[in-house]
Chain A
Amino acid sequence: MRTPEEEAATIQILDPAVDTTLVHARLTRALATRQYLQNVSQIGPPKLQETGQDIPFSSTENLNRLMIGLLAKEPLHEKPFTSTVPVLGPAIVAIRTVWNWISTRWYVLPIMQQQIQINQQMLLVLNELAQRQELDAQRIAELEARLQER
């Protein structure tokens, strides 16, 4: 907690034409006497209180973070039909389920299976690339260290 004098001293005027002693004295007086209605520093969303934090942004760390996010995604799956309509709801769901089974399920399910396989394969490829990237980053760091020693 700063005193009014210390608070006033945070104001800086470099122009020699301005009487900074007088400015600081007036600020000190105002800060000591005015009754402020609210303490604004804690108002508003908590995130606005934060100043920026350094984030791990090495290419491999970022890539790994994204990979973990991808792996955590659920594979594709069918979603059962639902209805919020009172009384008739179960009948609507039953009709839509039967109609889906007759008209589209036989067609869509194999495509979904193909897409699941593609996604899994893509994940493997990405994982492989991420690992290679990590190895390359390590090698570059080693080479840079050796260059520094020379």
Chain B
Amino acid sequence: MRIHQLSFGLIPGDAVSNSTLAIDAQLQAWGFSTALYAQHVAPQLKAHALPDVQFVPFLDSRDDLLIFHYSIYSPNIRLFQAFRGRKMLIYHNITPAKFFAGWDDHQAALCHMGRQALKTMTTCELAVGDSDFNRQELIEAGFDPAKTAVLPLFLTLPDALKNGRLPKPLPQEKATWLTVGRVAPSKAIADVLRIFAIYKHNINPHAELFIVGSLNVTTYVEALKSLINDLSLVNSAHLVGLVPDSQLEAYYRQADLYLTTSHHEGFCVPLLESMVHGVPILARQSSAIPETLGEAGVMFQELGYEAVAEMAHLLLSDAVIRQQVIQKQQQRAADFNTTRAAARLRAVLTRLEGTAGE
């Protein structure tokens, strides 16, 4: 069986792209013949993938399997719809358009179209979500519940305990906060800044915050810069932008606390990255975040800026609570390690082998 993977883009540092590449490597290790296709292939990854139009000759290959990664509207959904072999959709979730309204109308339209188009993709042998939160959205869009499953994002993460990423001690004086992900309205970065401002101005004046992720929603980024100025955080809150994986690793290594206030996550890879790097997590209880955290990390429900800042202080100053939280996180990270992820992928493929294409 030949296995094709198709996606909107293949871009370094992007979670869906990393997952696509990791699945491809695993499939090849199992001896499958594989190929990757995407509408946008970054120059650095041209050796790994082909333009999506090159999948057209395979549309009638009934013995083949197509894995389609869906995370934003793309015209290449037509290829998925037209394929006559076995099809599996991996739904990585699409941010609801409302979060981009008034900030980036083009992005809002793409998100809206992406969610609408999901309803036209229900004809497939299996549709999986990275989380049960995503799986429920598939069912709401009209997918047969019996043909859905959960397949947590397949990533080759470093093993938390085998790679010397031991739990970090308490920060001495300077506390480094980190948040990672696209700087977009759905992530509510303004809340991160406000919580950090309370901590910085009332508890620890030596604290620093790094916001790492794409800055392409420029209207939102400008508003955040204005907020940073108004909160007197110009020298301590840094909008870093998108960085290569090696640099991202360095940010996790120096971080003492990970904070996310995101309203919408289909899985939230940075939580996993924080777990394996031994960084305690403080997260808004929203969308798929509770599912990814399990019993690990610390969550907040209705946001009280002072309460979250005080909890951050506890995680940064109480050695016992800090170690307990980090330990539980590293246990949780093991649920997503490569061995378990590979077993889950194998189970999904076995399930697909019992089906037939059109």
Instruction: Find out whether the CB atom of B98 lies under 8 angstroms from the CB atom of A12.
Output: no
In the assembled complex, which residues on chain A have CB atoms less than 8 Å from the CB atom of B198?
A: 36, 40
> Once the chains are docked, how many angstroms separate the CA of A14 from the CA of B173?
29
Nearest CB of chain A from residue B331's CB, rounded to whole Å:
9
B226, A10: Cβ atoms closer than 8 Å = no
In the bound complex, what is the Cα–Cα distance between A132 and B253 (angstroms)? 58
- Residues A23 and B314 in contact in the complex (CB < 8 Å), given A8-B307, A43-B194, A48-B190: yes
The interface size bin for chain B is: 35 or more
Given that A40-B231, A48-B190, A55-B98 are known contacts, is A31 also in contact with B306, CB under 8 Å in the complex?
A: yes
Choose among B102, B202, B298, B302 the residue that contacts A37 (Cβ–Cβ < 8 A): B202
Cross-chain contact of B307 among A7, A17, A37, A54 (Cβ < 8 A): A7
A57 touches B112 (CB 8 A): yes
Within 8 A of B (CB), among A1-42: 2, 7-8, 10-18, 23, 26-27, 30-31, 34-38, 40-41
Any A CB within 8 A of the CB of B333: no
The winner among B194, B224, B226, B285 for most chain A CB atoms within 10 A is: B194
- Find chain A residues with CB under 8 A from B308 CB: 11
Interface string of B309-348 (1 = CB under 8 A from A): 0110110000001001101100000000000000000000
Q: B4 within 8 Å of A by Cβ?
A: no
Known: A27-B307, A31-B307, A45-B223. A13 touches B298 (CB 8 A): yes
Contacts of B285 in A (CB 8 A): 12
Interface residue count for A (Cβ, 8 Å)?
37
Interface SS of chain A:
loop
| Contact across chains for B202 and A36 when beta carbons are under 8 A apart | yes
Return the chain B residue nearest A15 by Cβ: B328
* A146 at the B interface (CB under 8 A): no
Query: Which residue of B190, B299, B327 contacts A44 across the interface (Cβ within 8 Å)?
Result: B190
Compute how far the CA of A7 lies from the CA of B311 in the bound complex, rounded to whole angstroms.
Answer: 11
Q: Residue A53 at the B interface, CB < 8 A? A: yes
Contacts A10-B301, A40-B198, A44-B230 given; does A52 touch B314 at CB 8 Å: no
Which of B98, B303, B327 has the most chain A CB atoms inside 10 A of its CB?
B98
Q: Which residues of B contact A57 (CB under 8 A)?
A: 97, 108-109, 112
